[in-house]
Every structure is written in C-alpha cells, then in structure tokens.
Amino acid sequence: MNSITNRTKNCFMKCFMTDCAPMKTRRSPASNPASPRTCAAVLCAFFVSACAWGPGGAPPAMPEPAHYGTEAQPVQTVAAQGLAQQFVTGAQPVPQWWTLYGSPELDALVDEGLANSPNLASADHSLQAAREQLRGQLGSSMLPTVDALGVAQRGRAPGIPQLGFDKLYYDVFAGLVQVRYSFDIFGATRLNNAALAARVNMQVFQYEAARRALAANIVASALGAATLHAQIDTTERLVALANAQADDLQKRYTLGAVSHTDLLNAQQSAASLAASLPGLRQQRAAQRHALAVLLGRTPDAAPPDLDLAGLTLPAQVPVVVPSDLLKTRPDIQAAGAALIAASAEVGAATAQMFPSITLSAGLGQGGFSWPVITSGAGALWMIGASLTQPLFHGGALLAQRRAALQSYDAANASYKQTVLAAFQDVADRLAALEHDAQALDAASTSAQTAQGVYEETNARYRLGAVPYYAVRQSEQQWRNARLDEVRYRGTRLSDTAALFQAMGQPPTGADASAANAQPHAVNGDSAATATTPARD
C-alpha cells in the first residue's frame, strides 16, 4: 500500500507541476505530459489514498512463544490440601472471576467498589469528556459552519466644507448569515479525526484496565486482611502458650528443677512471639484501610474480615495462549490504539503540507437606514473560494512531521514493551501458582504431622505418661506449622486472583467495538466508527 501511495504521489506531482493541456508540437510518448484524463484519474486515486500517508497502524509482529515461562506449563499443580489446580490452556478469560471463590461477601465488596470508587468515577468522566470532544471535532470538521453576524454602528467622517458640511455622521446596519466549509481533499481533517478517535479508544481500554485493576485490588486486599486475621489468631495462641511455658519454667526454676538458661530461653521465645503481633496487626489495619478506600468508604468504615477457611480455591484457571493475550489484555489494546493514533498523526502532519481549499458564502441585509435595510436595495451577498498552499513556514511543517514520526516510533516501542511485560506478568503468575502449591503442600504435611504429634502427646498425658509441659511444647510446634500453612494458603488464593487478572477478559462489549475499529482507525472515513464503543 505504501509503494502504491508513493507512486500516486509522484504521478500527482507530475500532473501538478506540468501543463495538462495537449500540445500542438508532436512529442514522443515518453516526453508527453499527462493528459487531463490521466491527471483526473491520478488525482482521484491520490485523494482516496490520502488517508494512507501514515506508516500504517498495524501493530508490530511479536513473537508467539509456545509457553510463557522458561519451561512448559504443567497441566496442573501439585495437590495441596487435597486440591490440584488445573491450567486450562486455550480457555477464554473469566469476566467475573472473583465469584469463583464462593463467597457472597467478597462478591458484594467487589460490586460496591465498582459502583462507588471515586477513582473509577473520575476515569469514567474523563472518558465521557473525551467522547464529547471527539463528537465536537467531528461535527465542526466534517460539516459546514454557519454563523449569524449582526452589525449596528454609528460613525463620524470628515465633512466637506465646500458643500457646507463641516461634519458628517452616518449609521451602518447589517445582518448576515455566513456559511464556511473546508474541503478535506488531502485527508488532513480525516486523519486528525482518526487520531482523536484512536485516543478515545485508548481511554476506553484504559478505563477497562482500571476497572479490572480495581476489582483485583479489592480481592487482594480482602484476601490479605483475611490471611492476616488468621495469622494473628494463631500467633496469639502461640504467645499464650509461650507465656504459659515461661511461667511454668519460672515455678520449676524456683524449685531448682530447671536451669536459669532454660528459663531465659523460654522467656525470650515468649517475648519474640509477642513482638511479632504488632507488626501483623499493623499490616492487617493497613489492608483494611486500603480496602475501605477502594470501596469508596472512609477507613473507619472498613468492612469486617472475611473468613479465610470459608473461601474456595478455584479448581480451574484459564491460560490464554500468547497470541490471544494480545486481544484480551486492555493494556495491550490501549497501546495498540496509541500506535494507531500516532500513525494517523503522521499522515495528518504530511497532509498539512499540501493545499487546502475553503468555500465561503454569505447572505443578508444591510444599509445606512432602516428603510434601505428592509427593502430590496439592502440585499447583501457574497461567495468565494480560497486556496492555500504552504510555501515557507520556517521548517515548522517538516519538523512537525519528523516529530510525528518519532512519536510513532516511540508508540511502536511502547507497544512491544507492553506485550513483553504482559508475557512476563503471566509467566510470573503461573510460576507463582506452581510454587505456592508446592509450599502449601509441604506446610500442610508439616502441620498435619505436628497435629498428630500433639494429639498423641495429649493422649499420653491423660494416661500420665508425660508431663503437661510436653503437651504444651507439642501444641506450639503444631501452631507454628499451622501458621506457615495459613500464610501459604493466603498466598495461593492471592496469586490465583493475580493470574485471573493477568489473563484479561474476552473482547466483548466496549472491547469488541474498539478492537474491531482498531485496524481501520487510520482511515479517514473510519473516524466515526472508532468512536462507537459501548457505555455511551
């Protein structure tokens, strides 16, 4: 297409710079200037191809790896707590993935945040403002402008002493309707409209990305607070056990049954566990405060913590293939829209260097007195056309085109980086889920073993075979193992949410409309098409 456009431009310049009229002198076919019919045909082709003066808005070719990480993705994770998550390769993303956790309370939190978040509302209003600006530009640039002009003026002119007039006063009244229209022959207006339409599409995708990020942040904060709540409960029990152990050793030390070193070790262990509680409580408070703000509440109105044990781990997670990820991630689609806009801006900057034609007309009434104004003698009209060809602007037009080309190259590189970052994001999330399952499996096995030791020791204590402090020590070991199990379970739930977020969402609704408009947004006639995403 670019080669065709270049040939058309060269032929147009030949027609533009040479006389199209037939010459009387016989010349060879190679030296004859283009005929009027040829000029007309070339001009038509040139006008049609004017919208292709940009470098083309197609995204650059990106590698399509067979799998995201350095190793092939397994079909499922290891079984942890009796559940192995399955990776469904090639499946479509889940739009409302948070419902898979089986918690109505979590669903209600996400719905509340999507409805009340000030950040999301601000993004929505910014998007609506951009749409209105686009509508205004389309109307003003594609349709004629009509203005009404009224003049009422009184003036004084030098008199004519020879005729006995030392002063001369006069009145002027006029009313006029003016119509003005600029012909977009070389596509500058259409390309500017297409660029703005692509920018609006970019904001649509950015809004969708912000909406999905808000939902993911709400889920992450709720899961984090629930995990910390469970950790605090377990740690408080550990602190109570450690204090009881220290008190018991204090009594035994008084009786001379244990050494002072044993007593100090017990007291140090109890103090160390107690010192970890304020940090956990601070983290939980920060998570709750952040969650409240995400929901549009003040921090003092933070919702209660979810029950970590009541949350269901999604058994299946979709893994979109790399080639389809380009269509499901709003951040990649936004980068693609920015690339289309930059391409159209290059074409618009090129078209600015060619002539512009404007037609204007006016009709009204005027005169120096009301009788004249209201009679046929006061009729006013005007019609005219203007042709403007930029000749010398101090290099500004060429500099603007070079700047537009640099901006296009920057958008092209930004698109590549966005795609690579998306691949990395998915690869990290997939690896995290596999490692989370392995860690949780080991922690769960450790906790189950420690619980068995505790139950067996407690049974022996009831038979009088072991002292009670042995029961307390075995419970401490179990609670410590349980603390790791709680932490890894919370991490697994959170990383699952992050993977759902990394997959994006199916291109439906606003995404589908904008995505379908992307390949054609550079075309001048497609400017209006690119402004039709849903949510209007």
**CA separation for the pair 395, 402 (Å, rounded):** 11
Helix (H) or strand (E) holding 486: helix 468-502
CA 386, distance to chain mean position in Å, is 43
Q: Angle at Cα 352 formed by Cα 347 and Cα 357, nearest 5°?
A: 125
Among 88, 112, 147, residue whose Cα is nearest residue 503: 88
Q: 362: which 2 tokens? A: 């006016």
Q: What is the reported pLDDT for 154?
A: 83
pLDDT at 530: 38
Kindly state the tokens that stand for 47: 């006008």
Amino acid identity of 495?
D
CA distances for 525 relative to 48, 141, 152, angstroms: 10, 13, 43
* Cα–Cα distance measured from residue 74 to residue 437, given in angstroms and rounded to the nearest whole number: 13
Tokens at residue 493, please? Answer: 């739930």
Cα dihedral sign for 413, 419, 421, 427?
negative
- Give the H/E segment covering residue 155: strand 145-160
Residue 67: the pLDDT is: 85
Between CA 444 and CA 86 the distance in angstroms is 20
pLDDT at 419: 96
Residues facing residue 380 across a β-bridge: 364
Show the domains of the chain with their CATH numbers.
1-24+31-52 (no CATH), 56-143+188-354+395-531 (1.20.1600.10)
Judge contact between 263 and 512, C-beta under 8 A: no
Backbone angles phi, psi at 87, to 5 degrees: -95, 110
Q: Cβ of 337: how many Cβ atoms within 10 Å?
A: 29
238: which residues sit within 8 A by CB, 6+ positions away? 273, 476, 479, 480, 483
Give DSSP secondary structure letters for 69-128. Answer: SSSPPPSBPPPBTTB--EEEETPPPPTTGGGGG--HHHHHHHHHHHHH-HHHHHHHHHHH
The distance from CA 230 to its chain's CA centroid, rounded to whole angstroms, is: 35
Q: Is 201 helix (H, G, I), strand (E, B) or coil?
A: helix
pLDDT in tens, the chain (536 residues): 444 344 434 443 443 333 333 333 333 334 444 454 544 444 444 444 444 577 877 888 888 888 898 888 889 999 998 898 999 999 999 999 999 999 999 999 999 999 999 999 999 999 999 999 999 999 999 999 999 999 888 877 776 665 556 667 778 888 999 999 999 999 999 999 999 999 999 999 999 999 999 999 999 999 999 999 999 999 999 999 999 999 998 998 999 888 999 899 999 999 999 999 999 999 999 999 999 999 999 999 999 999 999 999 999 999 999 989 999 999 999 999 999 999 999 999 999 999 999 999 999 998 888 888 888 888 999 999 999 999 999 999 999 999 999 999 999 999 999 999 999 999 999 999 999 999 999 999 999 999 999 999 999 999 989 999 899 999 999 999 999 999 999 999 999 999 999 999 886 554 444 433 333 333 333 333 333 333 33
The strand order across the sheet containing 379-388 reads: 145-160, 165-183, 356-367, 379-388
Query: DSSP E strands: which ranges in 291-353?
Result: 316-319
**CA–CA separation, 210 and 161 (whole Å):** 79
CA distance 329 to 322: 11
- The CB density around residue 6, as the number of other CB atoms within 10 Å, is 11
Which two three-digit tokens encode residue 319?
Answer: 């893994």
Q: Are 508 and 234 in contact (CB under 8 A)?
A: no
- Write down the pLDDT at residue 162: 54
Tokens matching residue 509: 């609704």
CA-wise closest residue to 440 among 293, 257, 300, 313: 313
- Cβ neighbors of 522 (< 8 A, separation 6 or more) are 51, 52, 54, 56, 57, 191, 194, 198, 340, 343, 344, 347
**For position 34, what pLDDT does the model report?**
45
Pairing outcome for strands 165-183 and 145-160: antiparallel
Q: Provide the CA 154 distance to its chain's centre, in angstroms.
A: 59
